[in-house]
Amino acid sequence: MKQKKMFLALFGAIIGVSLLTGCSKDPLKNMTNEESRIYITNYDSTIHFSSFNTYSIADSVAVIKNGNLQKRTLSESDAAFIQAVKDNMNARGYQPVSNDAHPDLGINISKVYNDQTGVISYPSYWGYYNQFWDPYYWGYGGYDYYFPYVSYSVYQIREGALSIEMVDLKDAGSNKKIEGVWSGLIRGEAIFDASTASSQVKALFDQSPYISTGSIQ
Please state the pTM of the whole predicted model: 0.71
Query: Residue 187: its pLDDT value, please?
Result: 92
Query: Residue 38: its pLDDT value, please?
Result: 92
Query: Residue 202: its pLDDT value, please?
Result: 97
Q: Helix/strand/coil (H, E, C) string of 141-176?
A: CCCCCCCCCCEEEEEEEEEEEEEEEEEECCCHHHHC
Strands 68-73 and 95-96: unpaired
Query: Residue 29: its pLDDT value, please?
Result: 62
In the chain (217 residues long), the average pLDDT of successive 10-residue segments reads 45 37 51 88 94 96 91 96 98 95 94 80 50 59 58 70 93 78 92 96 96 75
- Cα 194 from Cα 180, distance rounded (Å): 26
Query: Residue 123: its pLDDT value, please?
Result: 53
Tell me if residue 212 falls in helix, strand or coil: coil
Domains defined along the chain, listed by start: 4-206 (3.30.160.670)
DSSP state of 93: T
Q: What is the amino acid identity at position 11?
A: F
Query: Residue 195: its pLDDT value, please?
Result: 96
- Cα 58 from Cα 75, distance rounded (Å): 14
Task: Give the bridge partners for 167, in sequence order.
Answer: 106, 180
Per the document, the length of the chain is 217
